[in-house]
C-alpha cells in the first residue's frame, strides 16, 4: 500500500471509544500523523433521544469526548469533572427523566447541537462542526442523518425507548425484540458509503452487537456497502471468556436468540464469503477453543489479547486489527 491507509471503524459507545483510541494510537505508531485523514468512525445513533428539548447523542458524545481526552472514564459516559446544577434544577421542575443525569458541561454540547439542528444543519453537518473544537485525530460520521430510535419491545408488547430500558431498568425487563424505528426511511449519512467503498480496512469495534453495531448494519444500503468494499472486514469480539466485557450485551443477545459466545457473535455477523460481512474475527485467548468453529463459519479466526484495560493494550488491539486487515 502506498500513502496513508484509509480505515473505517463501525462503533458504539464505551467499547467503541476504547477501540477507536487504540486504532488511532496504532496509526500514530506507524508514523501516520494525520490520523484524521486516515480514520473514519461510523457511529451508532440508535441511542439518540430528545430530552428536555435538547438532542442527546450518547455514542457520538462518548467517542468525541474520549478522542478529545475529556471523557469521564469511571462512569463511561459524559464529561470528566462535570457538575449537575442544571440537572438538579430540571428535576425540581419535574422535567426530563429523574433517572437520567444531564451534566452541566454535557448540556453545553446538547444545546450547541440542538441550536444547529434547529437552524437546519443535518446531524452529519453538526457533527462535522462539533469535531473542530478538539483535535480528535479522526473523522466522525453518524450512521445516518435520519432519526432512528432503538425501541425495546417487552414480552407484554409494551415499548420503551432504549435509554429508558437501559438506564432506568438496567436491562432487567426481558425484551422480546429490538426495533429500529424509522430505519426504513434512513440512508447512510453523506460520506459513509464512500468511506467504506474507498477503505483499505473496515473494522467492527467490540461494541454491543445488537444495540450498537446492529442499528448501523440495519441502515438500508449499509450491508451492501460493506459487502462490496475491496477492504478487508475485520471484527473484534465483544465477548471474552464467554462473558460480556461490560454493559448488558448478554441480555440483548439472548433476546435475539444468540448465545453469549465469541463464535455466536461471529456467526451473527456472518462470513463475507457466505452472504455475511466478516473476513476475519479477532477472538480472545480465553476463547481459543472457539477458533475452529469460527473457521467453520468461513471466517478467518485470529486469537489475540482483547482486554483494553489501558491505553497500551488498546493500542496493541488496534494494531492487531490493522494487521488482520493487511494494512
Chain residues binding ligand FO1 by CB under 6 A are 12-13, 47, 56, 58-59, 61, 77-78, 100-102, 106, 163, 166-167
Residue 164 CA: distances (Å) to CA of 47, 97, 149, 181 = 10, 9, 12, 15
Nearer to ligand FO1, 56 or 234 (CB): 56
CB of 79 to ligand FO1, least distance (A): 9
CB of 51 to ligand FO1, least distance (A): 9
CA atoms within 13 A on the CB side of 203: 36
Nearer to ligand FO1, 110 or 139 (CB): 110
What is the maximal distance between C-alpha atoms in the chain? Answer: 59
CB of 16 to ligand FO1, least distance (A): 8
Nearer to ligand FO1, 96 or 220 (CB): 96
CB of 63 to ligand FO1, least distance (A): 10
- What is the spatial distance between Cα 37 and Cα 5, in angstroms, rounded to a whole number? 9
CB of 249 to ligand FO1, least distance (A): 10
- What is the spatial distance between Cα 301 and Cα 286, in angstroms, rounded to a whole number? 13
SS3 assignment, position 91: helix
**Distant-in-sequence, close-in-space partners of 231: CB < 8 Å, separation ≥ 6:** 8, 196, 199, 200, 201, 202, 325
Nearer to ligand FO1, 15 or 188 (CB): 15
Closest residue to ligand FO1, based on beta-carbon distance: 13
- From the list 231, 185, 191, 233, the residue with the least C-alpha distance to 213 is 233
Nearer to ligand FO1, 56 or 244 (CB): 56
Amino acid at each position: 500500500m502506498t500513502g496513508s491507509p484509509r480505515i473505517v471503524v463501525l462503533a458504539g459507545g464505551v467499547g467503541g471509544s476504547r477501540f477507536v483510541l487504540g486504532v488511532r494510537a496504532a496509526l500514530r505508531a506507524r508514523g501516520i500523523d494525520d490520523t484524521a485523514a486516515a480514520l473514519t468512525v461510523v457511529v451508532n445513533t440508535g441511542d439518540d433521544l430528545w430530552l428536555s428539548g435538547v438532542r442527546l447523542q450518547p455514542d457520538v458524545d462518548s467517542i468525541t469526548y474520549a478522542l478529545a481526552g475529556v471523557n469521564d472514564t469511571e462512569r463511561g459516559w459524559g464529561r470528566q469533572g462535570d457538575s449537575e446544577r442544571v440537572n438538579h434544577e430540571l428535576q425540581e421542575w419535574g422535567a426530563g427523566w429523574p433517572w437520567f443525569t444531564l451534566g452541566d458541561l454535557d448540556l453545553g454540547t446538547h444545546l450547541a447541537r440542538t441550536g444547529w439542528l434547529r437552524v437546519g444543519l443535518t446531524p452529519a453537518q453538526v457533527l462535522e462542526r462539533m469535531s473542530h473544537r478538539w483535535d480528535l485525530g479522526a473523522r466522525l460520521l453518524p450512521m445516518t442523518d435520519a432519526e432512528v430510535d432503538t425501541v425495546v419491545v417487552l414480552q407484554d408488547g409494551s415499548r420503551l425507548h432504549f435509554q429508558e430500558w437501559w438506564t432506568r431498568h438496567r436491562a432487567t425487563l426481558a425484551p422480546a425484540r429490538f426495533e429500529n424505528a424509522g430505519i426504513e426511511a434512513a440512508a447512510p449519512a453523506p460520506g459513509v458509503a464512500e468511506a467504506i467503498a474507498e477503505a483499505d480496512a473496515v473494522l467492527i469495534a467490540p461494541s454491543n452487537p445488537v444495540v450498537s453495531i446492529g442499528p448501523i448494519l440495519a441502515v438500508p444500503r449499509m450491508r451492501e456497502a460493506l459487502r462490496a468494499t475491496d477492504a478487508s472486514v475485520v471484527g473484534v469480539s465483544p465477548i471474552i471468556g464467554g462473558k460480556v466485557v461490560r454493559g448488558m450485551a448478554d441480555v440483548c443477545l439472548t433476546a435475539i436468540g444468540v448465545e453469549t459466545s465469541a463464535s455466536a457473535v461471529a456467526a451473527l455477523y456472518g462470513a463475507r464469503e457466505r452472504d455475511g460481512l466478516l473476513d476475519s474475527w479477532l477472538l480472545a485467548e480465553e476463547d481459543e477453543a472457539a477458533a475452529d468453529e469460527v473457521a467453520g463459519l468461513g471466517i478467518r479466526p485470529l486469537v489475540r489479547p482483547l482486554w483494553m484495560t489501558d491505553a497500551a493494550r488498546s493500542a496493541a488491539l488496534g494494531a492487531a486489527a490493522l494487521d488482520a486487515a493487511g494494512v
